[in-house]
Chains A and B, each alone.
Chain A
Amino acid sequence: MSTYSSNTSSINSSLAVYENNNTYGINNGTSILDYHLSFDAYHYSNNGWITVFNRDDSISITDGTSEINKFIRYISSYDRSRMESDDDDAENRSICTILDIKKLNDNWDGYGAKAIPKEAVNKAIRIVMDLRHQPDIYPTGRQSIQFEYELDDRSYLEFEIYADRITCMEVPQRKYDKAIFHQIENERIDTINRIVDGFYDAGKDNTK
């Protein structure tokens, strides 16, 4: 265990990532799990999950109890109980929805839609982890993942996450001829957050 003490990150006393020469272990306070893990970066969500960005461009989420299709979710018993009781954690729900989309096979819609590429899945996960407002999330029949926002005045905002690009359409109060199309370059989360914030701000103005 001492070999993993050189660089430690933790969010509480029972949950930590250990690093040693670019090899990582995950410790739940009593033992080291998956100490051979090799990845580029990791991210603690606010309820104790650890999301791991692997070198093959896949993403893992650890829970410390099992490894399922490389998607592991690591969580201490304390954090697990907290997660299961926290219905308001929109970020986790978004991640779970995207992971469900990842499981969709070819012809998932019964009309020949192809599975969603992993690049789109990974991009969508990276985005939701940094979003200030979580969207409704749906798969499309053209290998993309759609994020949707809607306001009481029926204003609508969507992002469509493809493997190689992101499109964005905003339709104020469902006035189709007033639709706005935003440019999103290089998966810029600051741009996406700015668009979403502006969408909600405009909605507040419309209710005044």
Chain B
Amino acid sequence: MMLGKIIQNEERLYRAIKRSKPDCIKNGKVTSALYKYEKCGISVDRDGGRELGAIIVFLQKGALSPRVKGIAEISARECYNAGTEIIAAESLDNPYHANIFTDKENEQRQNIQALQLADASRIVFMDENMEWI
């Protein structure tokens, strides 16, 4: 399936949360720490017209396999409302890949945007019993 380069408001974006100790999940929601990154943007997967179940399975089999503890969902509209940019970045392995970019020039703005993204996110998958292997 060929996805358009422009990410529409209605699209939904998914970020896998690797099992780690500690992780970036607080009381069933994500914290803004999940959306703080150094250079390359926040990696997400576009929904690409898929059902949620298929998206979860795809992420579980992806680069974080087998350590996906949770998956956070956010709409593209919420990202745009927060003033972030979303750039499609498909690869051979992942045609759904995209990056969210917060304000590169203004750290204070970045921090607000990270909080806005966290507040607008919801966790759509959680494996509380993810084993430590």
Contacts and interface: CB of A to CB of B under 8 A. Distances in A.
Interface string B36-52: 11101011000000000
A138 B112 contact: no
Given A111-B43, A171-B115, A176-B116, A97 B37 contact: no
B89 to A, nearest CB: 13
A147 to B, nearest CB: 10
Given A108-B18, A110-B16, A174-B119, A136 B38 contact: no
Nearest to A176: B112
B32 A158 contact: yes
Contact of B108 (A108, A136, A141, A179): A179
Contact of B20 (A104, A114, A143, A181): A104
A141 B37 contact: yes
Contact of B22 (A137, A141, A167, A179): A137
B107 A139 contact: no
B38 A143 contact: yes
A156 B31 CA distance: 11
Given A108-B18, A138-B22, A167-B111, A148 B38 contact: no
A144 B18 contact: no
Identify which of A112, A138, A148, A181 gathers the most chain B CB atoms within 10 Å of its CB.
A138
Contacts of A136: 26, 31
The SS class assigned to the A binding surface is mixed
- Chain B: interface size category: 20 to 34
B44 to A, nearest CB: 10
Interface string A75-101: 000000000000000000000010011
Contact of B38 (A114, A146, A158, A171): A114
A33 interface: no
B22 A113 contact: no
A181 B33 CA distance: 17
Nearest to A144: B36
Interface string B14-35: 0011101111101000011110
